[in-house]
Amino acid sequence: MAAVHQLRPRPSAPSTPALVSDGLVCPLESGAEVEYANLDHGASTSAFVAVKAAVDEASLTYSSVHRGNGYASRVTSARYEQAREVVARFVGARADDHVIFTRNTTDSFNLLASVVPQDAQVFVFGSDHHATILPWRAEQLVRLPVPSSPAEAVSVVDAALRTSRAADALVVVTGASNVTGEYWPVAQIAAVARRHGARVALDAAQLVQHRAVDLALEELDYVAFSGHKIYAPYGAGVLVGRSDWLDAAEPYLAGGGATAAVSDEDTTWQIGPARHEAGSPNVLGAVALAVACEVVEEHREAIAELDETLGRGLVSRLDAIPGVQTHSIFGPTHDRAPVVTFTVEGRSAQEVSRRLSDEHGIGVRDGRFCAHVLVDALLARQGSGSTSAVRASLGLANSPEHVDRLVAAVRSLAPRG
């Protein structure tokens, strides 16, 4: 199939922010062209037009950060610190919380793992993304089983913390599953953790683009998310949260910017975000992330309305196709982002995703979504003979027509469709 792409103007849905990819047209193997239906928002999103404009503007004066007194350096440094303030407001950070820019959510959790006290225990559900399961030291990690209901998730945390004898404890919870889009009982888990004196870190990579997060209001200790999943695909992520562990630990990276003083005998490290941001930071990525946060905050109501429109009935429509099975942690009616993961009898997930693209102009993801434990559990729990699945994750680049096209395309691939 020819790899030819072109852009045609297509107005975005009313009141929703415009994307640079609006109107992308892709060729089909039949030789026809169709508007591309990007149903892979869970992997990466296109950029907001406003985000690209901000990056283009910042590029004009791009310079070193905190390294000089020249005009461009001062402007760039101001933009970088302003981005930090915007992100802090976006997640309801407390006055003494640190906002540390990273590469992505995975980088953020590896940073957090490097500052957790040595004697702490870390509790993580096996249903989480690899980014939240793998960074911790083996002797610290307590892996919790995949729950079958929100109530079970809360009770599992309660029981685990009740038996813990660690001086410090950290509970890691996912805001929305990257596999199924289902929302987790974050508030209830946080309440249990507080009762036991434990801290809570929220993986919000799949959440902040759909629902607001407020660290202070929800009494969460840390939150991490990525720009490329919130319409700012410029290589930046962020970790926001309590300063004490961050200031007490060794720097995540050793190098310039993290140092207050270096001599032949000793090194004194910075206190604050700079302690863990050694080297020249991704200023443009930070600017992009901050602008995306502002855009999402401004359009929260419209985004929620579009999520409801796109997700309404999606799971049940696919479930109604003979030979198609959708998969969920808490049940098919549990509240979720507009995401559905499914398998088609007699066809591999790879074949389904390829044919959706080549024959229908639909982009989805297939595999185990960097959440192997969860996918294996779901496929086994629901009696699927498959070893991987297909995920359709919708967002601001989509319209109801894309949903209808997905359902019709899957029906054509189903053995009894």
User: Which residues does the annotation mark as catalytic?
Assistant: 370
* 241 sits in which H/E element: strand 237-241
E-assigned strand segments in 16-89 = 24-27, 33-35, 37-38
Kindly report the length of the chain: 417
Q: Which amino acid is at 340?
A: V
Alpha carbons 235 and 16: distance in angstroms, whole number: 23
Compute and round to an integer the Cα radius of gyration of the chain.
22
57 CB-near residues (< 8 Å, 6+ apart)? none
Residue 131, both tokens: 């980014």
Packing angle of the helix pair 283-298, 300-311 (nearest 10 deg): 80
Distance, C-alpha 412 to centroid of its chain: 31
362-363 and 37-38: which strand pairing?
parallel
Which neighbouring-strand residues pair with 26? 34
* DSSP states of 264-295: SS-EEE-SSGGGG--SS--HHHHHHHHHHHHH
Alpha carbons 75 and 262: distance in angstroms, whole number: 27
